[in-house]
Amino acid sequence: MLTVAALFTFTIQSQNVFNKGDFMLNVGIGAPHSFGFIPTVNFSGEFGVIPTGDIGLVSFGGLAEFQLGDDGNIFPRFYVGPRAAWHLLTFISTEFDVYAGAGFGIVINGNGLDKNSGVDSQADAFVGGRWMFSPGMGLFVEIGYSGLSSGKFGLTFGL
């Protein structure tokens, strides 16, 4: 009886793309929300922590992003900060993960030689999704005001 219950629990859990204890890593490029049209390069990771019943899972992680900003002069920009997301479990497919989240980080602008130099804080809000076309690899897309980008897409890896 316990074996059947354990197998049933494992089967239900494996139907979701992102489960408690899972780690996902995103690597992508983004459309900047300020300072020119040079794409951003971003890395984010998240760890599934708090199941919310049949509704979903809360994850915690972070985002790091780089951009060469352009306002007539090219200068480096960095963003780093923690973030959390709520992954809504869907029963449409075992390949898709839909989530929304928020974060807070620090933006470091410039190299100290131009008018855009300095450090600023920034709150983030985003919605996103991922499509896992194999157990450990997929694609992700996010939109919102997050890091240095208004939208980002790229590869996602389940570790």
Phi first, then psi: give them for residue 52, nearest 5 degrees.
Answer: -115, 55
Bridging pattern class, strands 96-109 and 56-70: unpaired
What's the confidence (pLDDT) of residue 54? 79
pLDDT, tens digit (0-9, with 9 covering 90-100), for 112-159: 555 667 888 999 999 999 999 988 999 999 999 988 999 999 999 998
Q: Residue 3: what pLDDT?
A: 39
> Has residue 8 got a pLDDT over 90?
no
Indicate the DSSP class of residue 3: H
Amino acid at 135: P
Beta bridge partners of 129: 98, 141
Integer Rg of the chain from CA? 18
Helix, strand and coil percent figures for the chain, each rounded to 5 = 10, 65, 25
The predicted pLDDT at position 1 comes to 40
Residues sharing a CB contact under 8 Å with residue 80, sequence separation 6 or more, in sequence order: 62, 63, 64, 65, 105, 106
pLDDT in tens, 58-99: 999 999 999 998 877 788 899 999 999 999 876 566 788 899
- Cα 39 to Cα 30: distance, rounded to the nearest angstrom: 5
Task: Quote the CA–CA distance of 127 and 33 in Å, as a whole number.
Answer: 16
**CATH of range 2-158; options 3.30.70.2740, 2.40.160.20, 2.60.320.10, 1.10.1060.10:** 2.40.160.20
